[in-house]
Structure 1
Amino acid sequence: MTKIRNAPAILSQGDISSRRIVLDIADRTLERLDSYKRIRSIMRLEGGILHIGMKTWDLSKKRNVYLFGAGKACNHMAMAVDHVLGDRLTAGIAIVKIYEESDRFNKTEVFVGGHPLPNEEGYRASKKIIEIVDQADPQDLFIAVISGGSSALMSCPIDGITLQDEIDTTDVLLKSGAGIYEINAVRRHISALNGGMLAKRIQDVGAELIGFGISDGVGTPATGDIAVPHAAYKSTPIGPDATTLDDARATIVNFDVADRLPPRVVDYLMNAGPEKETPKAFPSNTYFLLNSLPDSCIYAKEVAEKMGIPAIIVSSFLEGESKDAGTFFASMAREIQAYGNPIKAPCVLLSSGEVTTQILDNSVIKGHGGPGQEMAVGFAIMAAKTKGACLLSIDSEGTDGTAKAAGGITDSASFAAAAAKGINLHQTLREHSCFEALDAIGSAVFTGNTGTNLCDLNILYVPALKDGQ
């Protein structure tokens, strides 16, 4: 396996045959989603002519060529562009979540930003990006590579709001139960770069922008031909922003966070006039969409079927409380194995989306974890009733929540395995210490940076019962 780093440990316990099937599907899916390969398949430099998909650019007519990147898949995206351009690249700045030892760049400076909470290094990198853009002119070309997580990694609040305000705002919103659209509505409207503000700065100096994006938004259609420029591109910080000031205000009210957010943030958003709205269109920019959220399920289904296992996509819109989603999938597994609904076993069920974990009081946190790990633990509690059932739930970019694990994998033997080590999985969920529990029973999944970022990928395998079981 090329993506699942600790596969031997995972396959040393539990229902090994079921785990192997699930891991094989996940590994092959992640390999196909790798953005380095996606960009290199459509981008090349021949002499002074840059080819990207159906379009070409004569770089001899450009004074400078700059590369900017941010996101959890930025490592692979930025490396692809950096490697293609070589010496023709003037300079690059990439803001990543995790810097891997295998990452190799020519002219790109790498900063390790903060995610899910912004940090000082991401802020310093963002200020350098602003300095470069503000001295540019119409003869310059900017190439940007953006994936999910850029809102936190490319952190640069507007004047009057501090970096600590942005950190505190993000922390409160992530634990409020709000969805990513609502969270972004607030974050984008207090940012000097996100919400399309980086693209606006480039537009204001008259320079040209080419954008590569991965869309992790729930509800985004599957990608088609990635060589064709994407006309309906919407992605912070280089594309038009679909959220509004009214959305930001509604988030504050609907999730009752006004008294927990920094006062400067609340005051600004509640009183900002229409001139503070984020930009809604960039018709002159060229965008290429490499992958979108439904792609992971589509590719995983193709992989499973090539393995001879029937597969169905349950949903690419999965949201809500993570542990409850785990319980739901365990119930689905039981229904399938007992009655053959909605598909007969053996089979694979797939879903993607972005489940969340609500934490209203930080004092209850006793460990580390994330939504994918909580989903896996929620599944394990109920899955003991379905022999051989196995669920993998990971954040496809390689880290889930506050842990370095991508997520978790549990099966019908996991509850007993935890109990044998004195671990109460119900308590683990209450104390949000799922990483420690999963790691102890060989069920934490480690991938490192995968080169993609399509939120959650959930793969459930349900075997058929053998005679006499």
Structure 2
Amino acid sequence: MFENRETHARSPAHELALDCLAAGIEAAQPEVAVARHLSLSADGETLDVMGETYDLGNYDRVLVLGGGKAAGGLARALRDLLGDRIDGGAVVLDAPADLTVEVHVGGHPVPDEGSVAGARRLLELAHDADERTLVLAPITGGGSALLAAPVEGVSLEELRTVTESLLASGASIDEMNAVRKHCSAIKGGGLARACGDATVVGLLVSDVVGDDPAVVASGPTVPDSSTFADARAVLDRYGIDPPDSIDERIDRGVEGGVEETPNPGDALFERVSNHVLVGGHTAIEAAREVAEEHDHGTRLLSARLRGEAAEAGLTHVAVAEESLDTGEPVTIPGVVLSGGETTVTLGDTYGEGGPSQELALRAAIELPEGAVLASVDTDGRDGGSDAAGALVDASTVEDADEARDALARNDAGSYLGSRGALLHSGRTGTNVNDLRVLVVSG
């Protein structure tokens, strides 16, 4: 799973942290999720999705339309399950893949021309669907950037500009999506709307806090409860000055001059169902099982951790100190698990790294002896870096002032790399938010 594992696993606590991470990421694989939650009847005529059934005899065509970092794995698993019952489709991914449906490669975390071309192809295929079409929609984390279909009058460059500003602002994923949904023809229920009278089944791998389907990839198949007014509030809250085309569109939307995204009361959603196959708890529970198999007590700090990464790092320090001193919240030896998605507010200049690395470095500055912390993004790419995250302990930081300086420059990756603390896994094939494992062994 992780490169140079033998170097990182320098103690039983370090080894356990790595084992917990690997188990969590493996449990969140799309293929595992499909095997767990989808099945085909013995005669091959009925598809069961988490208890909802679909008679394939009622459909002339089955299409696969979706996108996101884990959408390729879902599409592959659907192919293995349904075989030639799938008549076509397209997915937009962040890397090439060998599938029986069309594969378009887009940009992430900032959309590019491939994102636009892929999203427009999905919409084209969706518009061809009718009441005798079953659309299976694998929608996963990363889809907000990969499925970019700017509305008329908004260019890709303008969409990229506002996306970059949102990413640097420290805005949460749902705040970013409120803006992106109102600049897109596919997000915020746009794909479901384009499918017309077809039956649409959203198959979701969640990378968002709370696993809200409307937030995953900006909810292409899900009703949108956010409004143009919400999008305007986000831009104002973070002091973002968007390109004129976006600014004017949102203003017109607030005034009622632009149609809102389809809301929860829209009749079109009577033909749409959405299923979260994998979420943050999936990875956490698998990690918990490994810890308990190694006779460690476990506690969940939260699967919804959010806010500034550095502050969350200090929280993990406090939990380690309390556990070592009092046996609360976990007895020794124990493992404290957390998920969610922290953010980093970037300054004018910044270096390498991502939220998981920044969290780990802040923790390492004060982490007590007897504690080990692993912090990764489950997709294998933390922020814009090629590292999944980091594994740290009290020995990681030799010069606290140097480490604090790296944090001030948002350059945690460079510092942790120099200390041999970065974890590299490559693309994992899934994306269910961040996963952190705190081992306290005394």
Alignment TM-score > 0.5, same fold = yes
Aligned to 2:271, the other structure's residue is in SS state coil
C-alpha separation in 1, matches of 2:263 and 2:145: 21
Residue-pair matches, total: 434
Two-structure CA RMSD over aligned residues (Å): 2.5
Q: Which residue of 1 aligns with 2:387?
A: 405
Q: Which residue of 2 aligns with 1:312?
A: 299
Gaps of 5+ in 1: 222-229, 465-469
Aligned to 1:93, the other structure's residue is in SS state strand
Q: 1:48 to 1:295 in 2, by over 3 A?
A: closer
1:133 to 102, 114, 126: 126
Q: Do structure 1's residue 148 and structure 2's residue 141 form an aligned pair?
A: yes
Q: Which residue of 2 aligns with 1:224?
A: none
2:224 to 241, 253, 263: 241
C-alpha separation in 1, matches of 2:416 and 2:12: 19
Q: Which residue of 1 aligns with 2:378?
A: 396
C-alpha separation in 1, matches of 2:132 and 2:105: 30
Q: 1:427 to 1:334 in 2, by over 3 A?
A: same
Q: Do structure 1's residue 97 and structure 2's residue 81 form an aligned pair?
A: no
More moved, 434-443 vs 316-325: 434-443
The answer on whether the counterparts of 2:24 and 2:282 sit within 8 Å (CA) in structure 1 is: no
The answer on whether the counterparts of 2:24 and 2:285 sit within 8 Å (CA) in structure 1 is: no
1:388 maps to a residue whose letter is G
C-alpha separation in 2, matches of 1:8 and 1:264: 53
Per-residue deviation at 1:312? 0.6
Write the deviation string for residues 36-95 of structure 1: whole angstroms up to 9, x where unpaired: 111123233755514223344343443322111211221211211122232232223221
C-alpha separation in 1, matches of 2:283 and 2:341: 13
Q: 1:442 to 1:44 in 2, by over 3 A?
A: farther
More moved, 37-46 vs 370-379: 37-46
More moved, 151-160 vs 278-287: 278-287
The answer on whether the counterparts of 1:68 and 1:145 sit within 8 Å (CA) in structure 2 is: yes
The answer on whether the counterparts of 1:233 and 1:287 sit within 8 Å (CA) in structure 2 is: no
The answer on whether the counterparts of 1:393 and 1:457 sit within 8 Å (CA) in structure 2 is: yes
The answer on whether the counterparts of 2:313 and 2:360 sit within 8 Å (CA) in structure 1 is: yes
1:37 to 23, 32, 41: 32
The answer on whether the counterparts of 2:137 and 2:202 sit within 8 Å (CA) in structure 1 is: yes
C-alpha separation in 1, matches of 2:42 and 2:120: 33
The answer on whether the counterparts of 1:327 and 1:379 sit within 8 Å (CA) in structure 2 is: yes
Q: Do structure 1's residue 277 and structure 2's residue 260 form an aligned pair?
A: yes
The answer on whether the counterparts of 2:356 and 2:434 sit within 8 Å (CA) in structure 1 is: yes
1:313 maps to a residue whose letter is L
2:2 maps to a residue whose letter is I
Q: 1:69 to 1:10 in 2, by over 3 A?
A: farther
The answer on whether the counterparts of 1:312 and 1:349 sit within 8 Å (CA) in structure 2 is: yes
Per-residue deviation at 1:432? 2.3
Gaps of 5+ in 2: none
Q: 1:139 to 1:342 in 2, by over 3 A?
A: closer
More moved, 329-338 vs 315-324: 329-338
1:442 to 413, 420, 428: 420
The answer on whether the counterparts of 2:391 and 2:422 sit within 8 Å (CA) in structure 1 is: yes
Q: Which residue of 1 aligns with 2:363?
A: 379
Aligned to 1:424, the other structure's residue is in SS state helix
Aligned to 1:219, the other structure's residue is in SS state helix
Q: Which residue of 1 aligns with 2:350?
A: 365
Per-residue deviation at 1:382? 1.2
Of all paired residues, the percent bearing the same amino acid is 32
Aligned to 1:439, the other structure's residue is in SS state helix
The answer on whether the counterparts of 1:73 and 1:449 sit within 8 Å (CA) in structure 2 is: no
C-alpha separation in 2, matches of 1:424 and 1:50: 61
Aligned to 2:169, the other structure's residue is in SS state coil
More moved, 179-188 vs 70-79: 70-79
Per-residue deviation at 1:328? 2.0
1:43 maps to a residue whose letter is S
1:22 maps to a residue whose letter is A
The answer on whether the counterparts of 2:208 and 2:216 sit within 8 Å (CA) in structure 1 is: no
What TM-score do the two structures reach when normalised by structure 1? 0.86
- 1:19-418 equivalence runs, <5 A: 19-41=14-36, 42-44=38-40, 49-53=45-49, 54-99=51-96, 103-105=97-99, 107-202=100-195, 204=196, 206-220=197-211, 236-257=219-240, 259=241, 261-272=242-253, 273-274=255-256, 276-281=259-264, 282-361=269-348, 364-366=349-351, 368-383=352-367, 386-416=368-398
C-alpha separation in 2, matches of 1:296 and 1:78: 21
Q: 1:220 to 1:134 in 2, by over 3 A?
A: closer
Q: 1:280 to 1:307 in 2, by over 3 A?
A: farther
The answer on whether the counterparts of 1:4 and 1:447 sit within 8 Å (CA) in structure 2 is: yes
Write the deviation string for residues 417-464 of structure 1: whole angstroms up to 9, x where unpaired: xx5xx9932222222232233233322222233343221111111112
The answer on whether the counterparts of 1:29 and 1:303 sit within 8 Å (CA) in structure 2 is: no
